[in-house]
Structure 1
């Protein structure tokens, strides 16, 4: 199952990391203004349905041919959010609504090693790079990344409608 998840998210690989821990706790998860419920096209061309689940304080993410995942979001800085996507794997990324779409961001290659070292994190290469270290350190890595501005716009989730 992990291989399938890795293949599905291969185009997102530069924008996210696989993690072991919970980087966005359920108690910290918020609904992001500007992210609409409805259908989105991922960068790999797969359409998913995203719906805010008020009872669980997280997004339900369903693809036509795959299992349903969950996504939680927490504010990092004005307009920027830490998102953890959970299904067979745990993926963490930085994102922001832009118009109707959701833009994914990735760390500058020059800043990434410095920020990883500052937070005591390791990087394990793979189809989706894995951050090794405590979940709190991963969240702090993203907080510093958001504040530093040392990131670039990557792929988008394109809003297709309700």
Structure 2
């Protein structure tokens, strides 16, 4: 059931891509100012608990049924972060704190093909679109996306409290 909930969550997020390698290395992972430990409601309505794990330099994510995955964040640009979420799949997306919530961002329709080509990445359509290419190229894709400003705000993780 948890895997199904996680998949439904991912299907609601056009902002994320499935990737092969690590896009946020443990050494690069940071705790994001403005992201509080506590309960959040995902876009699919499922409540998760997000907790910073200082020993592992990552966020632990869990539903009331148990752990669902781990997330690492690295700064892309002022206020914007590259986030890698690992569970059954390895996903990468761009996010930023917005008030108590976490806003998720995706590439503008016109920008995505140009940036993919510029970084030698392919896009494999599926229930979760996959970026094909080296992890370093994926990181550079997101860095250029952040700097270009050619992205759109999508869904949010809504903070529910401690």
TM-score by length of 1: 0.95
Structure 1 SS opposite 2:145: helix
1:147 and 2:143 aligned:
no
CA distance in 2, matches of 1:66, 1:22: 24
Preserved CA contact (<8 Å) 2:10 2:16: no
**Number of the residue aligned with 2:158:** 158
Preserved CA contact (<8 Å) 1:7 1:127: no
Structure 1 SS opposite 2:65: coil
**Length, aligned pairs only:** 160
1:118 and 2:118 aligned:
yes
Structure 1 SS opposite 2:12: helix
**Number of the residue aligned with 1:101:** 101
Tell me the CA shift for residue 66 of structure 1.
5.5
Alignment of 1:1-150 (within 5 A): 4=4, 5-12=6-13, 14-65=14-65, 67-150=67-150
Tell me the CA shift for residue 89 of structure 1.
0.5
Preserved CA contact (<8 Å) 1:67 1:87: no
CA distance in 1, matches of 2:7, 2:129: 10
CA distance in 2, matches of 1:37, 1:66: 16
Q: Any stretches of 5+ residues in structure 2 without a counterpart?
A: none
Query: Residue by residue, what CA displacement relative to the aligned partner does 1:113-151 show, whole Å, maximum 9, x if unpaired?
Result: 000000000001111100000000000000000000000
TM-score by length of 2: 0.95
Q: Any stretches of 5+ residues in structure 1 without a counterpart?
A: none
